[in-house]
Structure formats: structure tokens, C-alpha cells
Amino acid sequence: MDNIAVYADPKSPVAEAYRSIRTSIQFANIDQTIKTIVITSAKSGEGKTTVAANIAASLSLLGSKVAAIDCDFRKPSVHKMFGISNKKGITDLLLSHAENEYEGYIRKIPGSDIDIITAGQIPSNPAEILSSKSMKGLLGVLRRDYDYVVIDTPPVGIVTDASIISTYTDGTILVCSSGYVEVDMARKAKRTLENVNARILGIVLNNFIGEHNKDNYYYYE
């Protein structure tokens, strides 16, 4: 869990930045229910999974009941971030029509209260799975049972998956790795999300090019 600064180094500026993201989410929650939160970015490797894990951790440390689920069926990595197996995950759950018995698919890790559901076996049709009634049903039961569901997804500038899931979730956070993603591509990703009426909660600038990497998180509504 070394990449989860909120756990590994709670006093660090990075952990502090995640606490301010958490506060923004809580404020966004006043007017409208923000329970299911998609994390995406324009390109791959911008820090989506890292940001998803840290946001989930900071929400759960404040006492909220949090699920972190891996909907990046193309390059699943939530399990790697938490150091757990990806043997039984969302795709397996959906194949078994187990939306209402999802508890059997939850993994816990020592030192964390987050309930994790990994991606499961890599499917041939990720976009179809994300559009399916079963997937929406799963989100429905998770929304009933949790305060927050943090959802890791593939890059919205490359494949359609994050746009699809953003149509039936409450909010989307766009991670931008400054110095890595081209401004045009980041803008286009934002437009893509707006075009499906995603509610963009904010943009997390994840600037970790080179060694000046530790305290460069910003968040704005």
C-alpha cells in the first residue's frame, strides 16, 4: 500500500491534498447525492488508480463506509495497488448474476476499512459489460449499502468505458498529469464527459514528472 499516501504517510502534503479533495466531495454532497464517483483521465498512466485508492482511503478514514471497485476491465490494477488477488472480481460476479450477493466478492485488507471489489477476469467486451443492466444493478445495490463507491476506469480519451459508466453514476473526477497530458487532450476528455452529461466534480492535477513529485495535487470545482 506504499502508493496510498493517505495510509503510508498521513502527515504528508499529498495526504493533506487528498483530505481537501475529500472535503470538496463532501461539500458537493450537500446539494445533490454524490455516492458513486468515477475516476478517469484522458490518457493512460496519469494516476487514476493511485488517485482512486487515495480518495477511497481518505473518505473511509473519516468514518464513511466506502467501496473501491475496479471497472478498468482492460488493465485492472486496483488489486495491485492494494496487494490483493484479482481472482474473483466484478466480471465474475456479473457472470454469476450475483449482484445481490456481492459480499462474497469483497476483499478487505489489513489496516483499511475499504471494501474492495477487484475487476475479475478480463472480458472481451468491457464497454458492453459497463452498459449492462447487471452492472447498473450492482451499482444500485452498492449505492444502497455504502456512503461512497469509488470507481476506477480506463482513460476516457482512449476508450468509451468511463463515459458509459459516468451516465449512471453521480460524479466524475478527471485526473490530469500536468506535463504529460496535452492540454487539448485533457480538454477533449472533459468535453467527452460533458457530452454524456457526466457531473464533473473536479480535476485533480497529478504532477509527478521527475523528482518534484510529492506535493503536487490540486483540486478545483
Give the x-and-dash track for 18-57 against ligand ATP (CB under 6 A).
Answer: -----------------------x--xxxxxxx-------
Query: How far apart are CB 77 and ligand ATP at their closest, in Å?
Result: 6
x/- mask, Mg ion, residues 51-90, rule CB under 5 A, reads: --------------------------x-------------
Sorted by sequence, the CB contacts under 8 Å of residue 216 that are 6+ apart come out as: 178, 205, 206, 207, 208
Determine the Cα–Cα distance for residues 54 and 102; give it in Å rounded to an integer: 23
List C-alpha distances in Å: 32 to 41, 177, 196, 201, 211: 23, 28, 18, 11, 39
Q: How many CB atoms lie within 10 A of CB 116?
A: 24
Closer of 98 and 159 to ligand ATP (Cβ)? 159
Cβ neighbour number for residue 156 with a 10 Å cutoff? 28
Number of residues located near Mg ion, criterion CB under 5 A: 3
Residue 19 near which of Mg ion, ligand ATP, none (CB within 5-8 Å, type-dependent) = none
By CB under 6 A, is residue 79 in contact with ligand ATP?
A: no
Q: Which residues bind ligand ATP (CB under 6 A)?
A: 3, 41, 44-50, 72, 75, 77, 155, 206, 208, 213
